Amino acid sequence: MQVMVEVTDEIRREAEKRSLPVVDFVDTLVRKGMEAIQGRVSFDSAIERIRALRSSAPISPSPQR
C-alpha cells in the first residue's frame, strides 16, 4: 500500500541529519510508534471497536453539500 503524507521541515531536516531518505525516516517513526502501542489494552480495544463498527454498520453515502 502507498500512502502520501506531507511532512514538516523539521522531519525533513532530521532525516537529512541521519543521512536517510525522508520516506525511510518516516517509515522508522511509524514502526517505532506501532511497536510502542502494540499490546496496550486501549489500543487493542479501539481496534476491535473499529472492526466491529466496520462489519456491522451499513455503508452510508457521503453527505452532500
Domains of the chain, residue spans:
9-54
Residue 65 has pLDDT above 60, yes or no: no
18 CB-near residues (< 8 Å, 6+ apart): 25
Q: Which residue has the higher pLDDT, 56 or 32?
A: 32
Which of 11, 38, 37 lies closest to 26 in space, CA to CA? 11
Average pLDDT, the chain: 84
Predicted confidence at residue 27, as pLDDT, reads 93
Q: Which three cell numbers mark 56? A: 456491522
Which of 46, 42, 45, 6 lies closest to 26 in space, CA to CA? 6
State pLDDT tens for residues 26-40: 999 999 988 887 777
Q: Tell me how crowded residue 25 is: count the other CB atoms within 10 A of its CB.
A: 19
Overall pTM > 0.85: no
Q: Which three cell numbers mark 19? A: 543521512
